[in-house]
């Protein structure tokens, strides 16, 4: 160790002198300081490993080690000496990296080598940490075995309590999972997979408790087996308790059903202009033109249309006098996009207020009026929420909890009939529970096989659902909507932006 200390002390002095002489540039000061501190850190780590090694060697000479602990620390079992070998090997590797790589990078002092220097310093830090952990491992193990010897009765009692609680939680959870599988048969395999972990942990806990129970009754007991299996029970108890809560929370998601239905939409346009006033002195012999003010102001649609008719694009003149002119610097329209939704959770309906949305989202849902744009079916997890537009209530069709299939006596067509409790879905879809039944077997089958969760469904011919669909256009509940009042239902394939008093591509009221 003396030679190592002298060697690193000399290296540190040389490097410090060199870096001071080189002055500015190259590797950053903070990184240099961090690198120059490594030799001292290596020295302290080496001293710690030596100290712990010496303490262990002294313990090996005691009667307690020779009579009780040699059976655990020998080479045929846990081989405690190997931990110190690993510690010294890790430290030696850290020193080699410093000598062969870090020191040379510091000597070259090139800024472009900073990433490499950081990488090597990180590796050295990890090697020193490994060395410390390896050296401490044996001492911690001896302390744990001593604790098992001194507190065996108490640990047995605690282990039995935790094992009993795991057993109780397991039995309760098993009943809950089996009931959930009966309620949501589509999730039987999934719940079997999730429950398999609990079955494994339960069996491991029972087996571990049997081991500590047997060892407590043995003479002499195997302290290593006793301590390790006690620790396993404690670890499994914490994991089981947490995962039990998580699985119950996860299963509770299956019982929730909700839909977010787009019930109205509108586009608000606010025309504006930016005007600049220039003024000059007609009596001056040189150009005195100057900008008096520049301002942006919102204007009415009529004023906007009037300016457009006058050719008042950017650069046009609004007004002029003998010594001034007011020019249009810019002329445009600010647009704001809004939706209203009907939120349905289980059987509860909650109409929403106007919500401002992004233009991108507005465009993506322009043809999805009276469609469910977010649907969480019963018996599905939250991550299985359907984010593709679908006719409201289609996720309930075919589920015997909501209704049943019946044959239309006039047409012979199979149609879905909601139970009384859920008839409101027909009201949402077409505005009249006794009107046309759009929940036909053919439509549902087409949606379920070819569209569900993949692309919006507007009906087999594309004209049943959505903004231009018959179920929406004839829906009494939609006739008072802003969309309808703005003329959205007047065309076969409506476009909200072209339905109102303004069209964004032509400006407010343009072309009327």
For 157-202, how does the pLDDT look when each residue is reduced to its tens digit (9 = 90+)? 999 999 999 999 999 999 999 999 999 999 999 999 999 999 999 9
- Statement: residue 11 has pLDDT above 90: no
pLDDT of residue 19: 47
Percentage of the chain with pLDDT > 70? 89
What is the number of other CB atoms lying within 10 angstroms of the CB of residue 244?
18
- pLDDT tens digits, one per residue of 239-285: 999 999 999 999 999 999 999 999 999 999 999 999 999 999 999 88
Token pair recorded at residue 274 = 């930016």
pTM over 0.85: no
What is d(CA 434, CA 414) in angstroms, rounded to the nearest whole number? 16
Locate 218 and state its tokens. 């043995």
Q: How far is CA 302 from CA 4, 296, 503, in A?
A: 90, 17, 14
Reply yes or no on whether the pLDDT at 10 is more than 60: no
Q: pLDDT tens digit string along 303-348?
A: 888 887 776 555 678 889 999 999 888 888 999 999 999 999 998 9
Rounded to an integer, the average pLDDT of 191-218 is: 97
Task: For residue range 388-400, list pLDDT tens digits in order.
Answer: 999 999 999 999 9
d(CA 178, CA 180): 5
Q: pLDDT of 433-455, one tens digit each?
A: 556 788 999 999 999 999 999 99
CA–CA gap between residue 48 and residue 177 (Å, rounded) = 53
Question: By CB neighbour count within 10 A (0-12 exposed, 13-18 middle, 19+ buried), where does 486 fall?
Answer: buried
pLDDT at 477: 86
Residue 312: the pLDDT is 52
Q: How many Å apart are CA 137 and CA 145, to the nearest integer?
A: 12
pLDDT of residue 509: 34
How buried is 397 (Cβ within 10 angstroms: 0-12 exposed, 13-18 middle, 19+ buried)?
Answer: buried
Give percent of the chain above pLDDT 90: 78
What is the rounded CA–CA span in Å between residue 263 and residue 191? Answer: 37
Closest CA to 481 of 387, 327, 342: 342
Please give the pLDDT value at position 510. 34
Position 501 scores a pLDDT of 34
pLDDT of residue 503: 33
pLDDT value of residue 348: 95
Q: Domain residues of the chain, as ranges?
A: 2-150, 152-255
pLDDT at position 495: 37
Distance CA 397, CA 405 (A): 9
Asked whether residue 12 carries a pLDDT value surpassing 60, the answer given is: no
User: Across residues 404-429, what is the average pLDDT?
Assistant: 92
Query: Which helix or strand (DSSP H or E) is residue 430 part of?
Result: helix 424-430
pLDDT higher than threshold 80 for residue 506:
no
């Amino acid at each position: 160790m003396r030679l190592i200390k002298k060697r690193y002390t000399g290296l540190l002095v040389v490097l410090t002198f060199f870096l001071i002489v080189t002055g500015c540039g190259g590797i950053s000061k903070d990184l240099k300081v961090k690198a120059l501190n490594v030799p001292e850190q290596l020295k302290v780590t080496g001293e710690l490993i030596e100290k712990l090694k010496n303490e262990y060697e002294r313990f090996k000479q005691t009667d307690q080690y020779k009579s009780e602990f040699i059976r655990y620390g020998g080479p045929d079992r846990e081989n405690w000496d190997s931990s110190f070998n690993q510690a010294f090997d890790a430290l030696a590797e850290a020193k080699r990296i410093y000598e062969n790589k870090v020191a040379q990078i510091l000597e070259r002092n090139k800024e472009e080598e900073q990433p490499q220097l950081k990488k090597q310093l990180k590796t050295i830090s990890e090697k020193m940490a490994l060395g410390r952990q390896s050296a401490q491992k044996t001492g911690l193990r001896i302390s744990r075995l001593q604790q098992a010897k001194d507190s065996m009765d108490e640990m047995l009692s605690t282990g039995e309590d935790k094992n009993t609680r795991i057993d109780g939680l397991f039995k309760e959870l098993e009943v809950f999972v089996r009931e959930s599988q009966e309620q949501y048969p589509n999730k039987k395999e999934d719940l079997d997979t999730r429950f398999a972990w609990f079955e494994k942990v339960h069996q491991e806990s029972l087996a571990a408790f049997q081991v500590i129970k047997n060892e407590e009754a043995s003479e002499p007991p195997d302290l290593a087996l006793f301590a390790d299996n006690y620790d396993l029970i404690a670890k499994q108890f914490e994991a089981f308790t947490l995962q039990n809560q998580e699985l119950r929370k996860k299963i509770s998601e299956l019982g929730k059903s909700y839909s977010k239905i787009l019930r109205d939409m509108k586009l608000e346009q606010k025309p504006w202009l930016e005007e600049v006033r220039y003024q000059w002195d007609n009596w001056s012999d040189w150009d005195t033109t100057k900008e008096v003010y520049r301002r942006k102001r919102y204007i009415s649609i009529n004023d906007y249309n009037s300016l457009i008719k006058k050719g008042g694009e950017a650069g046009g003149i609004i007004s002029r006098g003998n010594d001034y002119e007011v020019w249009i610097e810019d002329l445009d329209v600010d647009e704001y996009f809004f939706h209203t939704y009907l939120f349905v959770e289980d059987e509860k309906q909650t109409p929403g207020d106007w919500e401002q949305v992004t233009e991108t989202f507005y465009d993506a849902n322009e043809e999805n009026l009276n469609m469910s744009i977010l649907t969480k079916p019963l018996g599905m997890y939250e991550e299985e929420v359907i984010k593709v537009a679908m006719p409201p209530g289609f996720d309930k069709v075919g589920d015997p909890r909501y209704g049943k299939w019946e044959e239309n006596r006039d047409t012979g067509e199979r149609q879905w009939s909601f139970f009384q409790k859920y008839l409101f879905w027909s009201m949402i879809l077409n505005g009249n529970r006794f009107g046309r039944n759009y929940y036909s077997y053919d439509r549902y089958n087409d949606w379920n096989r070819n569209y569900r969760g993949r692309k919006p469904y507007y009906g087999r011919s594309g004209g049943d659902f959505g903004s231009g669909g018959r179920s929406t256009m004839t829906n009494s509940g939609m006739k008072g909507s802003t969309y309808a009042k703005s003329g959205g239902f007047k065309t076969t394939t409506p476009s909200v932006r072209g339905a109102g008093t303004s069209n964004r591509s032509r400006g407010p009221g343009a072309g009327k």
